[in-house]
Structure 1
Amino acid sequence: MDLTENQGGYSPTDSYLASYFFDKKPTLWMSSYERRTKETESVSTFKEVGGERYLNKSIFILVSENTFSLAEKFAYGLKHFNKARIIGQTSAGAAHAIDFMEVNENYLIQLPISRNIHPVTKIDWEGTGVIPNIITSNNEALKTAHLKALNEQIESLKKQTIVGPILKRYEKVKTEINNR
């Protein structure tokens, strides 16, 4: 999934999309602490989704310094549930919801009003961003993810009794040719 230019969005888009990568049993996705009310609201994955779930498969999420807010929340959430690997650049680090307050007729200030709490890490990505598992440039992120996925497929095939010997022979011939 390419979130490199994604500036965010609105909840519950993140928890709904994440639901495709969890089984039907709702899982605590993220909590949010509201500074003004001092209340914590928790959001879980959805029991029902409109389609087939994508379980036990590799997920790669591309992020960049231009990935913000809800897009970061989605990437951070899946990364720390060990559902996805993040590839690219560290994201913007915009985890806290903000509100504008009027100082006077000429000035507004921007204040954080809530923060996210991931159930595994107990923190969020404010100021630090979502740190990729594999750091690379924007230009190389998609290629890097593609190669990683292909390598996983090759490793899986090597374990199969019919394909494994063919791949071993292929690697041997390839090495012989490269050594010439």
Structure 2
Amino acid sequence: MKTSRPWLAVLASLLLLGGGAHAQPRVAPPVTPARGPLTPAELATTLDTIESVIQRSYVFPEKRAVILERLARGRKSGRYAGNTPGQLAEHVTEDLKAASGDGHLYLIHDPAWFAAQQAGPKVSASDSAEAFHRKQALRQHHGLTELKVHPGNVRSMKVTGFMWVRDETGGVYDDAMRFLRDGDALIIDLRGNGGGSHAAVQYLVSHFLAPDTLLMTFQSGTQPPVQSRTLEHVPAGRLMGKPLYVLIDGRVGSAGEDFAYDVQQFKLGTLVGTRTAGAANNNAMLPVAPCFQLSVSEGRPVHAVSQSNWEGTGVAPDREVPATEALEVALSMAVERLAQRPGATAQELAEYAWARAGLEAKRRPVSLSSARLKSLAGRYGEIDVSLRDGSLWLVRPGRPPGRLMPMTEDGLFAVEGTDSLRVRLPGKALELFWVTEPAPRVFSRG
């Protein structure tokens, strides 16, 4: 069995993809009706198909016999007998991975995707496989799930999967890149990104490299190698020269690693977090009766710089920190670097200092005793600071109360819900700091 387009793969019933490196995205599996165990005839057909595909198409011929022997052992032992489709997918995947060490060799129970793939040429456009995966991409906003401006005008984008719908996803990226373009520094958060389409990676990385830069050469058996290069034109313009930080973790695989590897090999920015999964091979998603899709590696990418790839090793971070801390660390690195930027204005430097103080407070939380908080409560001019529910509250005339969150031991507080206002309570006065004002407003204690 062979896909009609060798560089087109569909990942875990999520994406309509273009060429390149792929992996199972880390999203919730589709909800499917429960069914009983496979019949012996169904089980035999499923396993026969899987074995046939591996024998004919698996990228490393020297591993085929070991993989097939592992499946034969599973059959003989009765490991697969009486399995429901979900159980069989789990057991077969465990055996495929154990025999191959390949993150792109797995079986998924996905009857909706299988049915879409089996649709005949007369099926309506709305029921086609392409429409099925386009719908998934639209519901995930093509994998671009969050854009945010952080203090210091550091801008971030969360990419949960590298989806690609021809003639549609590019426009979504264009809007996102215009948003990032106006940031002083950029963060692209790939944590949990299990992969997707090289076409999406190619589009994104083209914003950070010169046109027509060779990225990858994809090799697949006896087929001629296929090159991937950066695009000549990107509507949002290039973003080269701005500090770039990319967040990674052990759940980043395949196309997610593709982008991280480009960033590292071309020295485009800094990788922050933990080592990625190590799945580089190119896979195709093939329908397997009665209700499965099989991911099988059919090729491998060769990077233009390293002349290798990340299969089995993953991509190592430049700054290794726990994945849960990667965003805060990257933000700290960004504002530290921006504060040293030649030509930064006084207002920009004040914003970077403000951002550093907030980040430091998050990384090293401060807790003040009840007695200390009680001593700071009181009336400061027209402002009241009250103690309730174990916290100080700022009450200003005509404004809703705001909870004060301790930032430092010497009485600096953030106001919950806003990044633009802070309060210092040294004891005999209250000082209000706004990020846009050079000096605080001072209110004496009454």
TM-score range, shorter chain: 0.7 to 0.9
Q: 1:49 aligns with which of 210, 234, 241?
A: 234
Question: Which segments of 5 or more consecutive residues in structure 1 lack a partner in the other structure?
Answer: 102-108, 171-180
- Following the alignment from structure 2 to structure 1, what is the Cα–Cα distance between the partners of residues 332 and 261? 22
- Following the alignment from structure 2 to structure 1, what is the Cα–Cα distance between the partners of residues 193 and 254? 9
The residue aligned with 2:329 is 144
The residue aligned with 1:114 is 299
Per-residue deviation, residues 84-131 of structure 1 (Å, max 9, x unmatched): 211101000010123589xxxxxxx97532111111111000000011
- Following the alignment from structure 1 to structure 2, what is the Cα–Cα distance between the partners of residues 161 and 89? 32
The residue aligned with 1:7 is 194
- Following the alignment from structure 2 to structure 1, what is the Cα–Cα distance between the partners of residues 320 and 233? 34
The structure number with the bigger radius of gyration is 2
The residue aligned with 1:83 is 268
The residue aligned with 1:105 is none
- Following the alignment from structure 1 to structure 2, what is the Cα–Cα distance between the partners of residues 98 and 125? 15
The residue aligned with 2:382 is none
Which amino acid in structure 2 is aligned with residue 127 of structure 1? Answer: G
Which amino acid in structure 1 is aligned with residue 328 of structure 2? Answer: K
CA contact 1:31–1:116 (8 Å) conserved in 2: yes
TM-score (norm. length: structure 2): 0.33
Q: 1:94 aligns with which of 266, 274, 279?
A: 279
Deviation of the 1:162 alpha carbon: 7.9
Alignment of 1:19 onto 2:180: no
CA contact 1:15–1:44 (8 Å) conserved in 2: yes
- Following the alignment from structure 2 to structure 1, what is the Cα–Cα distance between the partners of residues 344 and 267? 29
Which amino acid in structure 2 is aligned with residue 4 of structure 1? Answer: R
Aligned-pair RMSD on alpha carbons? 2.8
The size of the alignment, in residue pairs, is 158
Per-residue deviation, residues 106-159 of structure 1 (Å, max 9, x unmatched): xxx9753211111111100000001110111111100111111111111215xx
TM-score (norm. length: structure 1): 0.78
- Following the alignment from structure 1 to structure 2, what is the Cα–Cα distance between the partners of residues 147 and 16? 28
Question: Which segments of 5 or more consecutive residues in structure 2 lack a partner in the other structure?
Answer: 1-187, 287-293, 354-446
Deviation of the 1:39 alpha carbon: 2.6
Which amino acid in structure 2 is aligned with residue 21 of structure 1? Answer: F
- Following the alignment from structure 1 to structure 2, what is the Cα–Cα distance between the partners of residues 80 and 126? 15
Which amino acid in structure 2 is aligned with residue 83 of structure 1? Answer: L
